Amino acid sequence: LKNKRLAMADDDNRNDLNLKYYPKIVNIELGIINTGYSVDENDVYYYKDDKEAEVKRNEELEKSQNGSQNEKSNAADEKDTKQTWDNQLEFLLSCIAMSVGLGNVWRFPFTVLFNHFNPKFRIAFENGGGAFLVPYIVSLVIVGRPMYYLEMCIGQFSRLVFNKRGFQHRGPVKVWEVVPFFRGIGYTSMIAVLCTVSFYCSIMAVTVYYFFASFLTPLPWSETICENNSTIPNSTLVSLLSENGPDVCELHEQSNTSISELYYFHKVFPQLEDINNGIGVPHWKLALCLLLAWVIIYLCIVKGIQSAGKVAYFTAIFPYVVLICLLIRGLTLPGSLNGIYYFIRPQWDKILSPKVWFAAVSQCFFSLTVGFGTITFLSSHNKFRHNVYRDAIIISITDTLTSLLAGCTIFSILGYLADSMGVEVSEVTKGGPGLAFIAFPDALAKLTWFPQGFAVIFFLMLFVLGIGSAVSLTGQLITIIREQYPSWKEWRVGLVMCLIGFCTGMVFITPGGQFILTLVNHNGADFIIYITAMLEIIAVSWVYGVNNFCKDLKFMLGRETELYWKVCWAFIMPVFLLSLLVYYFVQYDWLTHEGVQFPTSAVVCGWILSGISLSCLPFCAIHAVSNSPGETWMEKLKASFKPSSSWGPKIPAERELWLKMKEEDDVDCLDKKQVDRMSIASTVTPKSDGVP
């Protein structure tokens, strides 16, 4: 602590500026520091001669010792940030809206049957049908739920950071002050989030197109268009199908391809067979739909969580209303039970297959959106004593039940489609975009009663599911930027991020855009998240220590952490995630899209994207080591694996009690010098203007 900066009180300047502590920097020796000084997180010492502030601090400390008064004190200190959830329900619904997304509707039902997203596994019942639910639920219990709870806890526990603008909420980068060596996890996940939200919104653009098309009578992808083409004006055919409408009908007769499939590939989203000669230019109609999607996202995030929390009431609840309505309608149709039975029919001989367990862990992993840092971002806006234990249980169960509800709903309608066509359910089963924009719209068009209405609410539901996830992902990006540049206005950062998202999303709505989507999803999201999640659990469980983390949770939540959570965090999850990563490389094959191999140049670009993302890990680690205290590199390296001085609660009353608990338990995870320095820092009381 030698030669640190001392801020001596300058009475004249202090009174002129109406500040409690006005710094004038000089160098001092440790020997003259006494109880008259306070220190902030930047090692700036303040001469403390204000008796009124001392009395106020003691009163707050006394109040904080009365259990329930802690949260009231925290709320009073945080009121100026205006960045906490208005109520607990907003946080819960925001998490549900983020986790329950498009993947629950078009990925889970078909992962149960086969891994439609991996071209190597396209055999029906490759994943065992209903038997897949056993490894999925096991994976949820020992991997998904513990990971979700861990990210919630670490975000809420270290939710505040102090800078020149006062208290602000930490994001997925600053939270890694718990182990500075792993700070690169936050930046790596940021790139993965940017990739994900970009192609997510391109899918939403197609959804917007179908939403507006659903208001037309008859539906433009229904067989009525071609059956009655002699009575429908040619101009209508041109506007509904393509520039050569009658040719599409002729193609339908010649190839026996459904109108819904021709409508998607010839009218809405013409696509290339390969990208050897480029990807083409964006479709202008989809570009307008993409712009509309990003405008709506911006309106949802323009005021931060204050606006996003209100949007969550609709984005989290509306999809359930639609799914239940569609399920009720589907159960009244002939063949619906055959479709549901096809969905849940088990093949028990597949249950021990490594492929099935790999698919189960992957589906559980990405369904809950763990590893992206978004859960940490959302929970950082909670009150310090908020019951995240309850929320983690509720959200993980809700996500699973939603996937099952969506599966039964989808296959009840597909069962009706198969019955009306006189074919097996397997022949009309498609995954991903094929479900949302071909198979399911085809089934809706065959409804005899009000098909337009069901089509409208179905595509509106898909759009709302996308909005719920995109709002949280974009909000996370804004938080990461404002962590580094707190003076930047939130609405301006949000506007810039939405413009960047729109520009990058244009790539995915080109004729070769689906190839790029597959490439970016594989190298910029899936692969990266495997890495960051494994490093995340290692950093918290093995480096910081499960016991230390559980003591922090006891201090925050007032409850002991059960053995179940400790075992999952310390042993099961690291082994599972490492096995998942190893299997990922073992079964890796040359990347393909719809059976078409990517050119070498595209695969190289994909791995360059992965390299850029992962390069954040060593660069940030080197930066953390070089800025850690110590005279030798070995001392600096050891210090980078210990929590920095800014780790932990920031509200003074909470921080002082937490540090006291650490000292009484003789916890060795914190450097003793850091504990001493932070003990002095806890005496600083935040002022309304953000200046200590």
Alpha carbons 566 and 561: distance in angstroms, whole number: 7
Q: Which helix (H) or strand (E) holds 44?
A: strand 44-47
Alpha carbons 295 and 199: distance in angstroms, whole number: 16
**Residues 95, 394 contacting (CB under 8 angstroms):** no
Q: Are the C-beta atoms of residues 346 and 128 closer than 8 Å to each other?
A: yes
Binding residues: 100, 104, 367, 465, 469
- The burial class, CB within 10 Å (0-12 / 13-18 / 19+), for 90 is buried
Counting other chains too, the contacts that 617-625 makes at CB distance below 8 Å and 24 or more residues apart are 617/182, 617/184, 617/185, 617/188, 617/531, 617/535, 618/184, 619/184, 620/183, 620/184, 620/187, 621/181, 621/182, 621/183, 621/184, 623/183, 624/180, 624/181, 624/183, 625/181
Q: What does each C-alpha distance from 432 to 105, 232, 525, 594 come to in angstroms?
A: 9, 33, 17, 12
CA nearest neighbour of 312 among 147, 506, 490, 92 = 92
SS3 272: coil
* Cβ neighbours of residue 254 closer than 8 Å, sequence gap 6 or more: none
Bind-site residues for Na(+): 100, 104, 367, 465, 469
Cis peptide before 319 (omega within 30 of 0): no
13's tokens: 């300047």
CA pair distance 19, 53, nearest whole angstrom:
12
Query: Is 375 exposed, middle or buried (CB count within 10 Å of its CB: 0-12, 13-18, 19+)?
Result: buried
Hey, which residues does 334 pair with through a beta bridge? none
* Bridge partners of residue 38, in order along the sequence: 46
Q: In what order do the strands lie in the sheet with 37-39?
A: 25-28, 4-7, 44-47, 37-39
Q: Residues 502, 503, 507, 508: what is their CA dihedral angle, to the nearest 10 degrees?
A: -10
* DSSP 8-class letter at 47: E
d(CA 530, CA 606): 16
- Coil, strand or helix at 91: helix
In one-letter notation, the amino acid at residue 672 is K
